[in-house]
Amino acid sequence: MSKTDKNEYKDDDKIILRLLTYIADELDVQERAEVKRWIESNEEHRLLFEKVRRGEMRLRWGVRVALIRGRYVHVVRRISRQVFVRWGRVAAAVALLLGAGGVGYRLYFSPEPSPVVAEFITPGQPRAMLYLASGEVVPVGDSPLTILDPNVTEVNVKEGGELTYAARKEAPTLPGATHRISIPRGGEFSAVLGDGTKVRLNSRTELSYPVHFSQESREVYLEGEAYFEVVKDGRPFVVHVGGLDVRVLGTEFNVNTQTAGTVKTVLVTGSVEIASGGETVRLSPNQLATYRDGKFSVRRVDVTPHVAWKDNNFVFDKERLEDIMETLSLWYDMEVIYESDLVKEMRLTGDLERYEDVRKLLYFFEKTSSGLHFDIIGKTVIVR
């Protein structure tokens, strides 16, 4: 935090109040950046933040939900920033008393009841933002829609969440125009590009592409995860992703950059070449190339767990729990908190349809893993 922040928040309860407003997402961009820097400045600050976050949830909801006993929260209370300010020292004290949430809430906050809202963990849905060459930004979902990008093209959104581009009889006025589609957490979308290539886009993903490809090549830019079904028409198709160039002619493959610093490419059919600097690797079907720390590794895999998402399934095969929960959190737009780092390394196997209740899979993991427990509070999962 800045000098002003340090002077303003000298004692613990004021620091905790600052952290509470950060957790509640009630700070402006500059304030959030300052608090984030303070949290990351040393391990003591980080541990205090985690402790406050756990205590804030119990205070806010006033109840712990035991998943395997089937006691789910359907109505929750949201404590406003004003309540925290008025009851500053009490809120800070209660937030640190992990486990006294329900009693503390009734004792100290009943004079000013908060608005009642419903909040659940629900599957994602087709939704995205489409950035046009004209500069216009259009939200798109699963309802039919026609979008006109002047002098460029006409875009049609089909029911179920798929972009298609209308064929043009005349040459475009802006031949180099590009579009960008951005998928948030808890979203997905599909697009049929100008050459007929089909792309399925996962949560937290962006794809930039020319509306009309050149006569020499087809090049797109990806961040996140996408499944490509590339039409073979003689021109190379190149995906620029995470510092790599994935080059194909006609094939089906999945590219995933959801893990920071890592690019995973899985080939289903056909052939791809992946280049970085002076190094190039060629994949055959059922091979996975992982690029991390400037190095490639290639191995043969069952492609099903890597591409099941595009068929609306999750398939996990002896994967780390932390990796599983990261995948689920993107689709269900939920927060995951671990009470111990050791549990993150557990290896688990299971599957789930993407549009089903995530509690089914978590319940299965509890039943098949010794000592693993999940508590769900609103849209937050606590792993114990």
Domains of the chain: 3-117 (no CATH), 214-306 (2.60.120.1440), 312-383 (3.55.50.30)
* Helix 43-61, helix 88-96: angle, nearest 10: 100
The residue-averaged pLDDT of 215-227 equals 96
pLDDT digits (tens, 9 = 90+) for 156-174: 999 999 999 976 656 555 6
pLDDT at 47: 80
At residue 355, the 3 state secondary structure works out as coil
Q: How far apart are CA 366 and CA 336, in angstroms?
A: 16
| CA distance readout (Å), 247 to 244, 251, 270, 273, 274 | 10, 10, 11, 5, 6
pLDDT digits (tens, 9 = 90+) for 97-126: 333 333 333 323 333 443 434 468 999 999
**Are 70 and 376 contacting, i.e. CB atoms less than 8 angstroms apart?**
no
Asked whether residue 82 carries a pLDDT value surpassing 70, the answer given is no
pLDDT at 68: 30
pLDDT higher at 74 or 7: 7
Which residue, among 294, 319, 293, 298, has the nearest Cα to 308 in the 3D structure? 319
Q: How far apart are CA 133 and CA 150, in angstroms?
A: 9
Neighbouring residues of 179: CB distance < 8 A, sequence distance ≥ 6: 130, 131, 132, 133, 149, 155, 208, 209, 211
pLDDT at 71: 33
Q: How far apart are CA 355 and CA 299, in angstroms?
A: 31
Question: In this structure, what are the phi and psi dihedrals at residue 345, rounded to the nearest 5 degrees?
Answer: -90, 0
Mean pLDDT (the chain, rounded): 80
The residue-averaged pLDDT of 196-207 equals 97
pLDDT digits (tens, 9 = 90+) for 23-49: 776 677 778 888 888 888 888 888 888
Element (H, E) at 238: strand 237-241
pLDDT at 171: 52
Asked whether residue 76 carries a pLDDT value surpassing 50, the answer given is no
pLDDT at 11: 54
Using pLDDT thresholds of 50, 70 and 90, give the confidence band for residue 69.
very low
pLDDT at 36: 84
**Are 165 and 198 contacting, i.e. CB atoms less than 8 angstroms apart?**
no
pLDDT digits (tens, 9 = 90+) for 298-352: 999 999 999 999 999 999 999 999 999 999 999 999 999 998 899 999 999 999 9
